[in-house]
Chain A
Amino acid sequence: MKSRKGLSTVVGMVFALIALATSIGYITYSMNILDQYDQTVIAKNQQTIDNGRENFQLYTTTIKNNKFNVTVINTGSLPINITKMWVQNYSVTDSINYYSINKLVSPGGILINIGQNLSPNLNVNPASNGYYNIKLITTRGNSLQFNMGSPGVKPLYMQLTITPQELTTTPINVTLSYLVTNNSTTNNLLTNLVPQLSSTTCSGGTPLVLTYSSGPFPAQYATLPSGSTAIFKWIYTATSGSSGAKCYIAASLKNGLGGNTASDTVFLK
């Protein structure tokens, strides 16, 4: 009897062990799978967080040696790798290209001369009415996009002021101040702003005579960021004229939009 009891216990134990081993195996396997999945989710979350923390801004951009010269600053807390530069030339129909950059920028660091050594070479003529859309891409898929080019694409806010405007005596020096504002609301950088004055239109009994003395100061603005104002000055001398004589002058940008001018009038009391 004792021996039969023992046999059933052994049989029961064998099945119990098999069931236990199988259950433990399944649970272990499941836990491992879930752990791997968790790791993937955590890694993806970290990647998403890093994407959000990546931050870089345009520091300055000019055209140097007929090439783009872009400087960016890494304002985030992570190193970034700028991989590509897309350039779309708006002044030529359907023209777009990208160039490899592959440069690292550490947090707080700046990367200069972007666009100076592109392959294939990309030449930009600052004197032309070229207008470009530039986009820098990082390895995390983030981008920095801005427009850059001639002021002749859109009308700009501009103002010409002659001081003093009412002359009491001659000869006297008058200052012409020409203000040009980049009124673009997007990241739109204007390049190569060169001012020019129209010939003076004077009238009166004895017309007022305005003689060029000096200017413009400065001769040009290489770049003008969105929201900024460029100020140019000329000095003219009012040499003679009768009371009531006046002169009308208009200012514009050499490579600006046609008809986009500012004007003012000076007169002799």
Chain B
Amino acid sequence: MKRLIQTQRGLSTVVATALMLSAVAVLGTTLVLWSNSNLSRYETSLATTSSTNTNRINEFLVIENVWFCKTSCHNQGINKPGINITLVNYGNIGLNVTQIKLNGSKYVYTYTNVAILPSQEYFFTNKTNYPWHSGSAQNITVTTGRGSIFTAQMTANRTAQ
């Protein structure tokens, strides 16, 4: 009798231990998988954010020249004053110009895909009449696809044609 009891007690302990081990294994594995998945997601997010910011920092666009033209900078037979802006990418990565703003928000030109490769130029000509005045400052703001903003303030020379 005593031997039988001992045997039963041992069996229940083994079963309990097996159950406990299984539960720990399942819960532990789940926890590890969950944490791994989370960490992996954080890593991806961190890499993406870092890459975006690094690329944004590396963007180096220069508003190299602004030409205030009197009649023919449109090259479309429009005899109205215009503005011609030369943008040069002096950075080591390509960029997309998405918006050019002239003097605040009145003249806004939005683009979808104006890519400028490193060391390349882009000549912007406004398609409509831009009534600049000689001697008054003109604000030019260029926005890129990564969100960088480059600004310049230019003044049309009083003797400009």
Contacts and interface: CB of A to CB of B under 8 A. Distances in A.
Interface of A: 4, 7-8, 11, 15, 18-19, 22, 25-26, 29-30, 33-34, 36-37, 40-41, 44, 47, 84, 86, 88, 90-96, 98, 131, 133, 135, 137, 139-141, 143, 147, 153-154
Given A40-B58, A90-B160, A96-B67, A26 B42 contact: yes
Interface of B: 17, 21, 24-25, 28, 31-32, 35-36, 39, 42-43, 46-47, 50, 53-54, 57-58, 60, 62, 64-65, 67, 69-73, 84, 86, 88, 90, 157, 159-161
Contacts of B86: 98
Nearest to A153: B159
Nearest to B155: A186
Q: List the 10 shortest-distance A-B pairs measured between CB atoms, nearest first.
A: A141-B62, A15-B28, A94-B69, A93-B161, A40-B54, A94-B72, A26-B39, A33-B50, A44-B57, A96-B67
Contacts of B53: 37, 40
Contacts, number: 90
Which of B31, B70, B161 counts the most chain A CB atoms within 10 A?
A: B161
A11 B21 contact: yes
Contact of B159 (A29, A30, A154): A154
B145 to A, nearest CB: 18
Contacts of B35: 19, 22
B46 A22 contact: no
Q: Which of B31, B84, B90 has the most A CB atoms < 10 Å from its CB?
A: B90
B32 A90 contact: no
Given A22-B39, A94-B72, A140 B90 contact: yes
Contacts of A92: 161
A22 B36 contact: yes
